[in-house]
A and B are shown apart, each in its own frame.
Chain A
């Protein structure tokens, strides 16, 4: 059973508009949440993260929101740029567990010029 779900396999937005990528998780014992970006033929690169004690973290054009009651995580990109076109993975860590992360299946974002 999937513990981390990214229900939208793909998303297409216009340059300059907002991109919103979503992630749902099932276990309230997850305590750390991360977003990664992956270009074709490259390894994923870390984008932004948030601890369960916070509900928002911002880094430039990227903002992550955490809604613990809904077990929902979202990544906002404003404004979107064509270079943001990539696959985005959310990842979660189990509280008190090891260093392992559980990844979602990814959402492919396309930003059209």
Chain B
């Protein structure tokens, strides 16, 4: 079974803090993704990575950066957290070019106060 794990299920941070969200997958997948899910807005892609050290912006990259130093790990960084970044953050991975299925982690509920 593919396993995607996220470092925290719940996180509370203050405005202006630097926040790190970690994601690890154990299936040697090439691609990894960060989404945020908000009520009424569905899943929106923040960034994705198709290889180590390679990244591409998604639909809403502003205020976020990412890091992928190892194949299995993909980090999302909020440089200076703001209240409008309060959301559910979901990490996913995929093998690529097979059936495009993405496997999701359990999510991190981030609250910025």
Residues on A lying within 8 angstroms of B by beta carbon are 6, 9, 32, 34, 36, 41-46, 49, 89, 93, 98-101, 103-106
The smallest beta-carbon distance between B103 and chain A, in angstroms, is 7
User: B32's closest neighbor in chain A, by CB?
Assistant: A99
Are B101 and A99 in contact, with the CB atoms below 8 A?
A: no
Are B45 and A100 in contact, with the CB atoms below 8 A?
A: yes
Give the residue of B40, B58, B105, B109 whose beta carbon is less than 8 angstroms from that of A105: B40
Complex Cα distance, B42 from A33, in Å, reads 16
Q: Is there a chain A Cβ closer than 8 Å to B75's Cβ?
A: no
Main secondary structure of the interface of B (DSSP, over half): strand
A-B contact pairs, 22 of them (CB 8 A): A32-B99, A36-B104, A41-B9, A43-B90, A43-B104, A43-B105, A43-B107, A44-B90, A49-B99, A49-B100, A89-B43, A98-B50, A98-B56, A99-B96, A100-B33, A100-B45, A100-B56, A103-B35, A103-B42, A103-B43, A105-B40, A106-B42
